Amino acid sequence: MTTQLLGFVLLLFSTIIIQSHSSSPTTSPIKLPTPAVVTLSVSDYGAHGDGVHYDTHHIQSTIDACSATSAATCHVVFPPGTYLTATLFLKSGVILNIQRGAKLLGGTKLEDYPSEQSRWYVVVAEDATDVGITGGGEIDGQGLEFVERFDERKNVMVSWNRTGACFDDECRPRLVGFLRCRNVRVWNVSLTQPAYWCLHIVKCENTSIQDVSIYGDFNTPNNDGIDIEDSNNTVITRCNIDTGDDAICPKTSTAPLYNLTATNCWIRTKSSAIKLGSASWFEFKGLVFDNITIVDSHRGLALQIRDGGNVSDITFSNINISTRYYDPLWWGRAEPIYVTTCPRHKHYTAGSISNVQFINITAKSENGVFLSGSSGVPLCNLKFLNVDLTYTRWTNYRDGLVDYRPGCQELVNHSAAGMILEHIQGLVVENVNMRWSEDNSRRWNNPLDFRPSTVNNISLLNFHSGLTVEDFSYLGNEIGFMGNKF
């Protein structure tokens, strides 16, 4: 290469280097990385937080602005205060961060909610991804404002069917709903006084509910704690649920439900603490409930299958149960364990229940275990392993009733027994201890009640039944104390 040509090449290379570092307007700006988390305060968007003026527009504007950012996650922050609102629509990538001392207060008027009853929630997310609620604060549905008449047996509730907005007696708004969402997280928040269902998960994938406290009025019907409907891959842990109706309630209305795990929870309810159903048109499979305390409840662990869906591979383990009688207006007759399948109506088909196991269960109850399949569709392969059952009475409500509700045979007269068995094919009872309080009425005189013609293939190994000398006079007070202490 000649000296002139070499010089030209060096000059050209130097020019390229200089141009690449120039600040020419034609040069593309350097893009800085987007923050992983952005926070926007509802106060900056005009929210009053006085509990008097509606803050719906200001909060929704904050949510919309948060969703429009390019951040992976955006937190809508509620500083301490009370924020009255109509329905709020949560969007993808947005977390409601309700700080400790802040309360989101649901409106109580029909016009506070959308025209479609299926969207009646104080907070709802529809078809969203990476969405949730946290912060240590509270969402309050003002459920007591929906009580038309207080009743010691069961409150009479306002129903908006009178307005023509709906056509049943459960026409009241839910508190929080996630509909058709992915990657839902609800943690470190209190959900209180729902007028109807509290936390509703519908057709969702990958949901985490953690360190959530739920409180509903004890005499309000239908104020379920957590309803998991047609959803898969759900984890519930370290939750405290104290409410009038079912506490944790998986349902299958339009699709199956797979892979639900609930652990380390405390539950008090005037209905079922854990209940599969009664909406049960599709399959339940792969459910685990572990390390749960149930106190002062009308029913403990319940499978209430009425619509033809099949149930299999369910495990209940390390659970401490106390169940008692309440007024018969509420479903449940103090059964610590209740496994039933029957057609809701005569034109329905009974669903099957198989491969259900109860491991390391301790119960103190006013009534016995009830296991009932249907003619032609027996319960199959049930296992009771390391179960301790203690039966006594401490309320004055009537006993001697078997509760098949809803549908089937309703309430039926039947003497008490340690276990009532109907239509079963395959039952293993191993290391089960059944103890009875001494009672002059002799109501506790039948450990196992069944007709051999409907119950087959039973295995009893280390099954014990006998009187207990323990004094249960303190039990009613102890349960209340436990509920407050937890």
pLDDT at 382: 98
Q: What is each CA distance from 356 to 231, 340, 365, 371, 372, in whole angstroms? A: 20, 12, 21, 12, 13
> How much of the chain exceeds pLDDT 90, in percent?
81
Kindly state whether residues 237 and 351 are assigned to the same domain.
Answer: no
Kindly state whether residues 197 and 321 are assigned to the same domain.
Answer: no
Kindly state whether residues 108 and 225 are assigned to the same domain.
Answer: yes
User: Could you say which of 215, 245, 275 is where a domain stops?
Assistant: 245
pLDDT at 431: 98
Kindly state whether residues 238 and 311 are assigned to the same domain.
Answer: no
CB 391 within 8 A of CB 365: yes
Q: Give the CATH number, domain containing residue 132.
A: 2.160.20.10
Domain of 184?
A: 37-245
Kindly state whether residues 230 and 305 are assigned to the same domain.
Answer: no
Is 174 a member of any domain? yes
Kindly state whether residues 231 and 173 are assigned to the same domain.
Answer: yes
Choose between 79 and 33: higher pLDDT. 79
pLDDT at 229: 98
Is 253 a member of any domain? no
Q: Pick the range with the lowest mean pLDDT from 3-17, 83-97, 282-296.
A: 3-17
Is 138 a member of any domain? yes
* Number of folded domains that form the chain: 2
Kindly state whether residues 310 and 389 are assigned to the same domain.
Answer: yes
Is 224 a member of any domain? yes
Kindly state whether residues 308 and 225 are assigned to the same domain.
Answer: no
Is 479 a member of any domain? yes
CB 93 within 8 A of CB 67: yes
The two counts, helices (H) then strands (E), for the chain are 3, 35
* CA dist., res. 440 & res. 437, Å (int): 10
Is 257 a member of any domain? no
Of the candidates 288, 306, 290, 321, the one whose C-alpha atom is nearest the C-alpha of residue 391 is 321
* CA dist., res. 355 & res. 352, Å (int): 10
Kindly state whether residues 470 and 324 are assigned to the same domain.
Answer: yes
Instruction: Indicate the SS3 state at residue 308.
Output: coil
Kindly state whether residues 226 and 140 are assigned to the same domain.
Answer: yes
User: With the CA atoms of 177, 66, 69 and 206 taken in that order, what torsion angle do they form, in degrees rounded to the nearest 10?
Assistant: -20
How does the average pLDDT of the chain come out, rounded?
90
Kindly state whether residues 224 and 78 are assigned to the same domain.
Answer: yes
Kindly state whether residues 199 and 325 are assigned to the same domain.
Answer: no
Is 3 a member of any domain? no
User: Could you say which of 245, 274, 305 is where a domain stops?
Assistant: 245
pLDDT at 216 over 70: yes
Confidence of residue 409 (pLDDT cuts 50, 70, 90): confident
**pTM listed for this prediction:** 0.89
* CA dist., res. 71 & res. 73, Å (int): 5
Is 260 a member of any domain? no
User: Could you say which of 213, 245, 277 is where a domain stops?
Assistant: 245
Burial class (CB in 10 A: 0-12, 13-18, 19+), 384: buried
> Apex CA 174: angle with CA 288 and CA 83, to 5°?
115
318-374 pLDDT, tens per residue? 999 999 999 999 999 999 999 999 999 888 899 999 999 999 999 999 999 999 999
